[in-house]
Structure 1
Amino acid sequence: MSNLLSIGKTGLLAAQVGLSTTGHNIANANVPGYSRQVAIQSTTPGQDIGVGFIGTGTEVAQIKRHYDDFLNSQVRGAETTQAALTSYYSQISQIDNMLADTTSGLSPALQDFFKGVQDASSNPASAASRQAMLSTASSLASRFQGISARLNEIGTGVNSQISTTVTQINSYASKLAELNHSIAALSTDPSIAPNDLLDQRDQVLTELNKLVKTNVTPGENHTINVSIGTGQPLVVNNRNFELAAIPSPTDVNRLQVGYSTAGQTIPLPESVLTGGALGGLLEFRSNALDHAQNALGQIAAGLAVSFNAQHKLGQDQNGAPGVDFFGPINAQVGRNSLNSLGSTAAVTAVVTDATALTSSDYNVDYDGANFIVTRQSDGKKTTITPFPQAVPQTIDGVDYTISGTPMTNDNFLVRPTVNAAADFQLMQKDPAKLALAAPISTAAPLSNTGNGKITPGSVDAGYLAPGNALAAPVTLLYDKATASFSGFPPAQDVTVTVNGVPTVYPAGTPSIPYTDGAAISFGGIKLSISGTPGDTDSFTVGPNTSGVGDSRNGVLLGALQTKNVLNNGNANFQTGYAQMVNYIGNKTREAQIGGLAADAAVQQAQNAQQTVSGVNLDEEAANLLRYQQAYQASGKVMQIASQMFDVLVSLGR
C-alpha cells in the first residue's frame, strides 16, 4: 500500500508539473520569442521484490524547450536582410521622389535658364531680355542649392540614425552579457537550462540582428558569443564591447562606426558592417546619397565651368571681355585628422575642365617620395609630378595644388563635385555685362572685285592667351598669281583645315595657300573664306567695336544646352540629370522589390520556426485535459491506497 501510495503521489506531482507547464505555454502564447515547453516524464527505477521488479512511479526528467537553432538562425538571417532593405528603401525613396518631381526637379530650371539665354541672344540689345536671362540664372542657382540642401538634410538624418542605432546596439550587447551571466549562474547542470531566460536572450539577439548582422557561436554553460563585421567580438560570455559613432577622419560632418577596444576607438570600414538597419544606412549613404550628391555636383560644376569658359570668350555691351558668369567650383578637401602633427602639407583642388570631370571621389596619399592621387571609382592612380610643384597638375578636370612639407602616410580626401551644387551661384548682376557679342568682327570691302566671302568668325580659348587678342584690325590680302593670302600676324601659326585634315603653317610664313571654304585659324581666331576672290582683294579681321546688337557668343552659350559637355563629351546637362534620376529610380525599385522578397522570406522562415517553437492553443487545451485526467487518476490511486490501508487497520481491531 505504501508503494501504491508513492506511485500515486509521483503521478500526481508529474501531472501537476504538466499542468503548470501547459498553463505557462498558454499564458505566454503571445509573448515574442517565447518557445513552447513540455514536461518530459521518465519512469523511476523499479523495486526488486524477488519475483521481478515492480514499478515505483514516474518523475519529471526535464522541462524541454522546443527550439531549433538552425531555424532560428534562418529567421535572424532573413530579418537582418529585411531590416537592411527597409532602412535603405526608406531613405532612397526620399531622393527618388524629389528628383523625379516634374515641377521641383532640376530639368525645368535648366530648360528655363537656356530659354532665357536664347531669348537674350535673339534680342541682345534689349535690357529686359538680358534681365530675364539673369533671373532664370538666379532661379537655376536656387534650384541647385535647394536640391543640394535637401540631400544634405538627408545626410544629416543618416548621421542621426547611425548614432541612435549604435546606441541601441550597445544597449542590446549589454543586455546579452547580463543574460549570459544569469544563464551561466543557473546552469550548474548542463542538462538543465533556464528556458525563459534563453528565450529572452534569443529575443534580444533577434532585435540586435535587425540592427546589424551578427555571427553567433555557443559558449560554456549555455552562454553565447556574438561578433560582427569581420569577427569583431560584441559579446563574449558576460562581457560586452561597444561601438561608437565617430566623425570621419577626413570629414567631420560624416559619422562612421568605430570599435572601442583597449581604450581607443578604431574606425570600421563600412563594407564590413552589412545587414540590419545600420548596414542599410551605410549602404544607402555610400551607394545612393554620395552618388546623387556627386552626380548633381558634376552637372553644376560642368555647367558653371563650361558656361564661364564660353562667356569669357564674349564681349559685353561696354566692349569689355566677358568674365565669370557663375562662381568658381572648389573641390571639398578633407585633411585626415590622423596625419602626422609634423606635416604642413595642404591640398587645394579647383574644377577647371567640365569635359574631363568625373563624379568620383579621390584619395591623395604621400608615400614618402610622391603624392599619389587614386580615383575611388576604379582605383586608377596618378602621380603628382614633379613635386614640389611649379604649376598645378590637372587630373580628371581638376587642378591639384599641393604645398607645405608632407610626412609619410599623409592622406587627404578630395571630393570635386560633392559641394558644387551648394556652391553654384550667379556672379553677374548687371545686364550690360552679359557677354553675348563676339570679340572680333570680319569684313570684306565693297571695292573687292571678286565674289569672295568671309564668315563672321569666332574665337576659342586660345584667343585669351597673352598677345593673341587683336588690338587692331588684320588685313588679309589675296594674290591671284599664287592663289594665296598674306597679312597674317607674323608671330602666330596659321592652321588651314580641308576636309578635316589640318595643315599648320609656322609663324612668319609670308603667304598661306587659299582653298575655297577651308577653315582658317590663328591666335584663337576661327574663320573661313569661300568663293573666288579677285587679285588684291582684301578681308579684315579686327576687334568688334560695335557689338551692341551682336549675339554670336550668346548663340554659342545657348548651344551649350545640347552640347555633350559631361563624361568626356558623351552627355549634355539634361542627359546627365536623366542618368542620375534613372540611377536613383532603378536603385529604389531594386530595394522595393528586394524588400518584398525579404518580407516573404521572413514570413516563410518564421512559419518554419513556429512549427517547432510556437504555441498551439488547441494542442495546449488538449494537454490540459490530458494532464487533468492524469491528475485525477493519480489522486484516485492514492484514494484507493488510503482505503486499503483503512481496511487493514480495521481488521486488526
Structure 2
Amino acid sequence: MAGLLSISLTGLNAAQAALNTTSHNISNASVTGYTRQQVVQGTADPKFTGVGFFGQGTEISTVKRVYSQFLTAQVLAADTSQVQYETYYNQIKQVDNLLSDTTAGLSPALEEFFRGVQQVAADPSSIPSRQSMLSSSEALATRFQSMQSRFQEIRDGVETQISQSVSDINALAKKIADLNLKIVSAQSAGPNVPANDLLDQRDSIVADLNKQIKATTTTNSDGTINVFIGSGQPLVMGQDVYSLSTAASTTDPTRLSVGVELAGGGVVTIPENLLSGGTLGGLLSYRSDSLDTAQNALGRIAVGLVTEFNAQHALGQDLDGELGGNYFTALTPAMQNLPNLTTGAASTASVSASISDVSGLTTDDYVLSYDGTNYALTRTSDSVSVYSGTTLPAGVDGMTFTGTMSAGDRILVQPTRYAARDIQVAIQDTRLIAAASPVTVSKSTTNSGTGTISQPTVNSLTGILSSASAHLASDITLTFNSTTNQFTVTGALPATIAYDPSSNAAGSSVTLTNPDLTFSISGRPANGDTFTISTNVGGTKDGTNANALYALQSAKDLIGGTATFGYAYSQMVSDVGTKTSSAKINSEAQQGLLDQATAAQQSVSGVNLDEEAANLLRYQQIYQAASKCIGVANTLFQDILNIMG
C-alpha cells in the first residue's frame, strides 16, 4: 500500500505544481515582459524487484520559461530601430513645420525685400520708396532672427533630451546590476532552479534600455549578464555599472557629447556615430544629420545675401553723392578657441576669418588646428580634412584666414551657424541707400555718328575716389578714329580700344582698368565722335545701382554658383521635407517589423488564455485521478486493517 500511496502522491504533487504554474501564467497574462512558464516533469527512477522494475511515479525537474533568445533578440533589434526613427521624425518635424510655413518662413520676407529694392530702382529719389525698402529690410532681418531663435529653441530641447536620456540609461543600468545580484542569490540552490520572474524583470529592463540606446548582452556562468553599447563599451558587467555622462564636446562646447565613466576614474568620449538606436541614437543622428545642416543652410543664405548685397551697395552712390557703405552689418565666421592639444589649456590663437567667396560656402562646421608645422582645416561632421599646408587656409570652402597660432592650438570655425541671428540693417537714413552709380556717361553734342556707350558697370572700387564731388581722378574720354577703327582712351587703361563698326555695331563689351569699369559700345560712331565717363554729380534720379541690387535676386551666387537666394531656401525646405518624409516612412516600416517580431515572440513566449484554460482542465483531471488513487490506497489499507483486526 505504501508504494501505491507514494506513487499517487507524486502525481498529486505534480498536478498541483502544474495547476499553480498555470494559475501564475493566467494571473500575469497582461503583464508586459512576462514569459509563459512551464513545469518540466519526468518519470521517477524505477525500483527493482525480483520480477522486474516497478515505476515509482513522477518527479518535477524544474519550472522553466518558454523563452526564445533568437526571437527576443529580433524584438529588441526592431524596437530600438523603431524608437530611433520615431524620435528622429518627431524632432525633424519641428524644423519641417518651421521652414514650410508660408507665412512664417523666409520666402515671403525675401520676396518683399527685393520688391522694396525694385521700387527704389524704379523711383530712386522717392523717400517713401526708400523707407519702404528699409522697412522690408528690417522685416527680413527680423525673420532671419526669429527663425534662428526657433532653431536655438529646438537645439536646446535636443540637448536637454540627450541629458535626460543618459540619466535614464544610467538608472536602467543600475536596475540591471541590482537584478543580477538578486538572480545570483536566488539561483544559488542549483543550476535547475531558474529565478524565472526575476529573469523576466531583467529582460524587461533590457528592453527598456534598448528603447534608449542599442545594447547587446552576454550571459555569464553565474546567470548575470553583461551589457555593452556603442562599439563594445561596457555599461553593466555583472554587478558593476559603468555610468554614462554628458559633457561639453571637445570640438564644439555648445553641444553635449556622451562618454562612459571608467572604473579607475576618467571618462572616455564615445563617438556619436557609434551610439545608435533608441531615443539617444535618434537625437544624436538628428542633431548632426539634420539640425546642424538646416541651421547652417539658413545661415548660408544670410551670409550670402549680406556679403553680396554689401559688395554691390558699396559700388553705388547715395543721395548725398557719397559712396555706399555696408547696407547690412558685415557677417564673419564665428570663431571659438578650443583647448590646446599639447597643454590642455585654452588655445591662445589669434586668428580671424573672412568670407572670400560665398559660392564656396558649405553647411559644415570646421576645426582649424596647427601642429607647429602644418595647419589643417577639418570638417566636424565627418572628420575629413579639407586643407593641410604650412600657411593658413585661403579661399578654402569660401573662407580666408589670417593671424597666428601656436603648436597644438585648435579653433572651432562656424562660418554660417549664427549668421541668421546676427544679421542687422546697418543704415537707418533713407538718404544713405546707394541707388545711383558713382559714374555716368555722356556723348559730345557734336557727335555725328550713331555710336552709343552704355551706362558703365562699376566692378570694384579700384580707381574710384570717395570724395562726393569727384569719384574719378579725371574724366575718361573715348574718341573714335575711323581710319584705325579704334577709340583713343584718356584717363584709364587700355589706351586704345579696337572697334570696327562693320562687325561690332551690335555691341562690343569693354572693360577698363583703374577705374575698373565695364560697358558696351554699339552703333556706328563717326570719326572724332567723343564719349565721356565722369563723376555722377547730382544723380538723385539714377537707379543704376539699385537695379544691380535688385538683380541679385536672380543671381546664382550660392552653392557653387548654382543657386539664387530663393532657390537655396527652396532647396533647404525640400531637403528637410525629404528627410522628414523618409523618417516617417522608416518609422512606420520599422513599426511593422516590430509588430511582426513581437507577434512571433509572443506566439512562443506569450500566455494564451485558451491554452491555459485547457491546461487547467487537464491538470484538474490528473489531480482528481491522483486523488482517486490515494483513495483506493486508503480503502485497501482499511480492508487490511479490518482483516487483521
Give the match for residue 212 of structure 2: 211
Q: CA deviation at 1:42?
A: 1.2
* Contact 2:338 2:347 survives alignment (8 Å): no
Compare 172-181 and 534-543 and name the one that shifted more: 534-543
Give SS of 2:377's match.
Answer: strand
Structure 2: give runs of 5+ residues left out of the alignment.
none
- The aligned counterpart of 1:641 is 633
Inter-partner Cα distance in structure 1 for 2:556 and 2:333: 23
Which residue of 2 is the match for residue 34 of structure 1? 34
**Could you say which residue in structure 2 is the equivalent of 1:222?**
223
Which residue of the partner structure matches residue 461 of structure 1? 460
1:602 alignment counterpart: 594
Alpha-carbon distance, 1:384 to partner: 5.2
Alignment correspondent of 1:519? 509
- Matched ranges for 1:154-169 at <5 A: 154-169=154-169
- Go from structure 1 to structure 2 and tell me whether the alpha carbon gap of 1:570 and 1:145 turns closer, same or farther (over 3 Å shift): same
Q: CA deviation at 1:466?
A: 7.7
Superposed displacement of residue 399, structure 1? 2.5
Secondary structure in 1 matching 2:323: coil
Aligned letter for 2:627? G
CA contact (8 A) 1:343 1:407 kept: no
Match of 1:503 in 2: none
In the alignment, which of 611, 616, 623 is matched to residue 619 of structure 1?
611
Paired residues of 1:331 and 1:417 also in contact (CA < 8 A): yes
Could you tell me how far apart the structure 2 residues matched to 1:640 and 1:93 are?
Answer: 75
Q: Out of 554, 560, 576, which is 2:568 matched to? A: 576
1:386 and 1:646 map into 2 onto residues whose CA distance is: 110
Indicate how the Cα distance of structure 1 residues 44 and 338 shifts in structure 2: closer, same or farther if over 3 A, else same.
farther
TM-score (norm 2): 0.94
CA contact (8 A) 1:384 1:393 kept: no
Query: Displacement, 1:192?
Result: 2.3
Residue 377 of structure 2 is aligned to residue 347 of structure 1: no
SS at match of 1:569: coil
Deviations 1:315-351 (A, max 9, x none): 0000000011111112122322353238522333232
Judged with a 3 Å threshold, the aligned counterparts in structure 2 of structure 1 residues 377 and 465 are, in CA distance, closer, same or farther, namely: farther
- Amino acid corresponding to residue 626 of structure 2 in structure 1: S
> Using the alignment, how far apart are the partners of 1:270 and 1:488 within structure 2?
65
Which deviates more from structure 2 when the two are superposed, residues 560-569 or residues 331-340?
331-340
Q: Deviations over 1:35-78 (max 9, x none)?
A: 00011111111222211122222111110110000000000000
Q: How far apart, CA to CA, are the structure 2 residues paired with 1:66 and 1:514?
A: 96
Report the Cα distance in structure 1 between the residues aligned to 2:483 and 2:210, rounded to whole angstroms.
90
In 1, are the aligned partners of 2:373 and 2:390 still within 8 Å (CA)?
Answer: no
Q: 2:481 aligns with which of 479, 482, 487?
A: 479
Equivalent residue runs for 1:143-182 within 5 Å: 143-182=143-182
2:553 aligned counterpart, secondary structure: coil
Q: Does 1:563 align with 2:555?
A: yes
Q: Is the 8 A contact 2:376 2:385 kept in 1?
A: no
Distance 2:197 2:388 in 1: 62
| Per-residue deviation, residues 255-303 of structure 1 (Å, max 9, x unmatched) | 1211111311222110000111111111101111011011111111100
What amino acid is the match of 2:366?
Answer: Y
For residues 49 and 403 of structure 2, the distance between their equivalents in structure 1, rounded to whole angstroms, comes to 100
TM superposition shift of 1:190: 2.0
Contact in 2 for aligned 1:257/1:267 (Cα 8 Å): yes
**1:463–1:469 Cα contact (<8 Å) kept:** no
**Shift of residue 469 of structure 1?**
5.0
For the 8 Å contact 1:332–1:416, the answer to whether it is kept is: yes
Secondary structure of 2:253's aligned partner: strand
Query: 1:646 deviation in Å?
Result: 1.4
Q: Which amino acid aligns with 2:260?
A: Y
Give CA-to-partner distance per residue, 1:530-554, whole Å, 9 cap, x none. 2333333221111110210000000
Deviation at 1:462, TM superposition (A): 4.8
Alignment of 1:321-340 (within 5 A): 321-337=323-339, 339=341, 340=343
Which whole-Å deviations, capped at 9, do the CAs of 1:205-231 have from their partners, x for residues lacking one?
000011101111121222211101111
2:387 alignment partner, one of 382, 400, 406: 382
Say if 2:211 and 2:279, in contact at 8 Å, map to a contact too. Answer: yes
Amino acid corresponding to residue 512 of structure 1 in structure 2 = I
2:361 maps to which of 357, 362, 380: 357
Distance 2:463 2:55 in 1: 112
Separation in structure 1 between the aligned mates of residue 293 and residue 215 of structure 2, nearest angstrom: 28
Q: Which residue of 2 aligns with 1:501?
A: none
C-alpha distance 616-377 of structure 1, shift in aligned 2 (>3 A) = closer
Distance in structure 1 (CA, Å) of the matches to 2:184 and 2:173: 16
**Match of residue 506 from structure 1:** none
The Cα of 1:482 is off from its aligned counterpart by 2.8
What is the SS of the residue equivalent to 1:251? coil
The Cα of 1:375 is off from its aligned counterpart by 4.2
Q: Specify the code of the residue in structure 2 equivalent to 1:454.
A: I
Identical positions, percent: 44
Contact 1:471/1:542 (CA < 8 Å) preserved in 2?
Answer: no
> Is the Cα–Cα contact under 8 Å of residues 250 and 337 in structure 1 kept in the other structure?
no
Length, aligned pairs only: 630
Q: Output the CA distance in 1 between the equivalents of 2:508 and 2:388.
A: 41
Q: Provide the rounded CA distance (Å) in 2 between the counterparts of 1:352 and 1:512.
A: 32
Q: Is this contact kept in 1: 2:337–2:347, CA < 8 A? A: no
Q: What is residue 499 of structure 1 aligned with on the other side?
A: none
Aligned partners of 1:61 and 1:442: how far apart in 2? 107
CA offsets 1:370-405 (integer angstroms, 9 cap, x no match)? 111134578353235536xxxx8332222212324x
**Aligned counterparts of 1:290 and 1:274: Cα–Cα separation in 2:** 18
Structure 1 residue aligned with 2:278: 276
1:98 maps to 98
Aligned pairs (5 A) from 1:18-29: 18-29=18-29
**Could you tell me whether the CA contact under 8 Å between 1:303 and 1:573 is conserved in 2?**
yes
Post-superposition CA distance 1:135-186 (Å, at most 9, x none): 0011111111111111111110000000000000001111111111111222
* Alpha-carbon contact 1:25-1:37 (below 8 Å) kept: yes
1: CA distance, partners of 2:49 / 2:362: 95
For 1:54, the equivalent position in structure 2 comes to: 54
1:442-461 map, 5 Å: 442-461=441-460
Distance 1:548 1:147 in 2: 37
- Asked if structure 2 preserves the Cα contact closer than 8 Å seen for 1:249 and 1:338, the reply is no
Given candidates 466, 469, 472, the residue that maps to 1:470 is: 472
Deviation sequence 1:547-574 (CA, Å, 0-9, x none): 1000000001001111111012111011
**1: CA distance between counterparts of 2:243 and 2:403?**
39
1:315 aligns with 2:299: no
Compare 330-339 and 568-577 and name the one that shifted more: 330-339
Contact 1:227 1:234 in 2 (8 A): yes
Q: Which of the numbers 511, 518, 528 marks the counterpart of 2:520?
A: 528
Counterpart of 1:73 in structure 2 is 73
Counterpart CA distance in 2 for 1:384 and 1:541 is 46
Q: Render the CA deviation track for 1:581-604: whole Å, top value 9, x for unaligned.
A: 111011111111111111110000
Q: Give 3-state SS (helix, strand or coil) of 1:401's partner.
A: strand
Gaps of 5+ in 1: 495-508
In structure 2, the residue matched to 1:249 is 250
| Kept after mapping to 1: 8 A contact 2:464/2:472 | no
Counterparts of 1:58 and 1:184 in 2: how far apart (Å)? Answer: 29
Is the Cα–Cα contact under 8 Å of residues 313 and 464 in structure 1 kept in the other structure? no
Name the CA distance, whole Å, in 2 between partners of 1:597 and 1:131: 54
Q: Which whole-Å CA distance do the structure 1 matches of 2:183 and 2:545 have between them?
A: 81
Distance in 2 separating the partners of 1:25 and 1:10: 22
Q: What CA distance in whole angstroms lies between the structure 2 residues aligned with 1:555 and 1:58?
A: 100
Q: CA–CA distance in 1 between the matches of 2:487 and 2:380?
A: 53
Supply the AA of the counterpart residue of 1:557.
L
Q: d(CA) in 2 for partners of 1:330 and 1:457?
A: 31
What is the CA distance between 1:119 and its match in structure 2? 0.8
